């Protein structure tokens, strides 16, 4: 199963949204809801999960259950 452009575009939007959140907090001089370390960990976790899912879907898996994927 080939991954579609829509899947890749949507995953890119999620990562872009986390980057935009940092920029907005700085521009608006807002106090972030989470620490910079937590935001970086969140970004890493999201990017890793997207990579795993895209890879598995590219290997002919029909679906991927992500409920047990986490970061320790």
Res 9: pLDDT: 57
Between 6 and 64, residue with greater pLDDT: 64
Within a domain: residue 64?
Answer: no
Q: What percent of the chain has pLDDT over 70?
A: 79
Within a domain: residue 16?
Answer: yes
Task: Taking the CA atoms of 64, 66, 67 and 72 in sequence, report the sign of the dihedral they define.
Answer: positive
Mean pLDDT taken over the chain: 76
Within a domain: residue 49?
Answer: yes
> How many domains would you assign to the chain?
1
Instruction: Give the whole-angstrom CA distance, residue 72 versus residue 68.
Output: 12
Does the pTM of the predicted model rise above 0.85? no
Instruction: Give the whole-angstrom CA distance, residue 22 versus residue 36.
Output: 9
In terms of DSSP H, where are the helices of 1-72?
5-27, 36-58
Alpha carbon dihedral 55, 57, 61, 63, in 10-degree steps, equals 120
- For 17, the domain range is 5-58
User: In the predicted model, is pLDDT for residue 59 greater than 90?
Assistant: yes
Res 4: pLDDT: 47
């Amino acid at each position: 199963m080939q991954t579609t452009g829509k899947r890749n575009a949507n995953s890119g939007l999620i990562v872009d949204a986390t980057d935009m959140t940092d920029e907005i907090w700085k521009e608006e001089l807002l106090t972030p809801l989470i620490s910079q370390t937590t935001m970086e960990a969140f970004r890493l976790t999201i990017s890793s999960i997207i990579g795993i899912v895209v890879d598995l879907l590219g290997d002919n898996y029909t679906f991927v259950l992500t409920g047990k994927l986490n970061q320790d």
